[in-house]
Amino acid sequence: AMEEVCAKFVSQKISKTRWRPLPAAALRAPDVFATGSWDNEDNRISIWSVGDLGHVGLGGEYQGEPQLLCDIRHNGDVMDMQFLDQERIVVASSTGTVTVFRHHQNNHTLSANHRWEKAHSHLDQDSSCGGAACTGVICNKPEIVTVGEDGRINLFRADQKDAVRTIDNADSSTLHAVTFLRTTEILTVNSIGQLKIWDFRQQKNEPAQIFSLTGGRVPLHCVDRHPNQQYIVATGGQDGMLSIWDIRQGTVPVSLLNAHEAEMWEVHFHPSNPDHLFTCSEDGSLWHWDTSTDLSEKPSFLHQGARSTTYVPHNTINQSVVSAWLSNDPTKDRMEITNLIPNQTLSVNSLDVLGPCLVYGTDAEAIYVNRQLFA
């Protein structure tokens, strides 16, 4: 049902979309998201409100569109972007700089709160020849980890001027993305198909473990960790394949699933309902993967009331649902895959899911919001 999706044309290519996190006890649907742009003369970080989108017209169609609350110029392409908390957003730039922007909610303005210039850079023998793109950022407040084209890993703290830890030649190839496994461990993916675990408790600048795709050296572009089962990890790369890994065993993926026809740019487990996973691609598609074991007996994670949405706490999600990701071929065990945008032609660069809501951004200079993912 396409009418649940509302589009906003923004006259800039959107590289990243992120929901603002909800306060821990909040039971409402998310209502504010941020976007970052790329490949424009003048790139911007923008904050949008979808507060009024809930009104349904007489024909059942959604009314209104996202409203721009505020925006600010950003130097370079926005390569990645994560909320540190409800007010601060950490942005990775193609110039190598990492900036923390603050959203002042009282008067709806954005300001640069802190900046790590050239957190990533290509070093010459004799001179610094300029920035290297910062390709990925992940936050676990107050910690911020960044990775880049220069193969460097930085660990920052939101309130500190200098890096807490830098691993300079962590990788000889480009690091494309990073995620936290637990508070002291991160996982990176690189341009030669490797996944590496780094333990910040260890002084040595070597990965604790290395995993790699079998066969080719297919660049990996994105990674996400299962929210409840830290050892289950999903990655996507240049060939559009979805790989599921169990980092407790072996050094190769548990399953490789044929997915998109071009690069997969992002992969996200649903944070509170992780038997659902979402991927988006250069080929213009956005897929919803559903491994609920028996779709007829699907637990109602989201009670679609008039305006209220209830979330089931993590521990009620049963093990059998989770293990569907670890079977040799999850598709045989009952998996529904839906392309949420059947006839899009330009790249879908980014997506984010929270509660019943999906936001995604495209090279067609548009952002899209779906507020009824599980309707």
pLDDT in tens, the chain (375 residues): 445 788 899 999 999 999 999 988 888 889 999 999 999 989 999 999 997 555 555 555 555 689 999 999 999 999 999 999 999 999 999 999 999 999 998 999 999 999 999 999 987 544 456 789 999 999 999 999 999 999 999 999 998 999 999 999 999 999 999 999 999 999 999 999 999 999 999 999 999 999 998 777 899 999 999 999 999 999 999 999 999 999 998 888 988 899 999 999 999 999 999 999 999 999 999 999 998 765 444 444 433 322 222 333 333 333 444 467 786 565 555 688 899 987 888 999 999 999 999 999 999 999 999 998 887
Which amino acid does the sequence have at 373? L
Q: How many residues does the chain have?
A: 375
Write out the H or E segment, with its range, that includes residue 134: strand 134-140
Whole-angstrom distance, CA of residue 12 vs CA of residue 112: 21
Cβ neighbours of residue 174 under 8 Å, at least 6 residues apart?
135, 148, 149, 151, 190, 191, 219
Whole-angstrom distance, CA of residue 83 vs CA of residue 81: 7
Are 44 and 34 in contact, with CB atoms under 8 Å apart? no
User: For residue 3, what are its two tokens?
Assistant: 């009418």
Angle made by CA atoms 15, 225, 206, in degrees to the nearest 5: 95
**Residue 238 Rama label (left phi>0; alpha psi -120 to 50; beta):** alpha
| Structural domains of the chain sorted by starting position, each given as residue range(s) with its CATH number in brackets | 6-291+322-370 (2.130.10.10)
pTM strictly above 0.75 = yes
Q: Is 325 helix (H, G, I), strand (E, B) or coil?
A: helix
User: Tokens 């990645």, residue?
Assistant: 80
Partnered with residue 111 across adjacent β-strands are 102
Alpha helices, DSSP H only, in 49-182?
A: none
| R_g of the chain computed on alpha carbons | 20
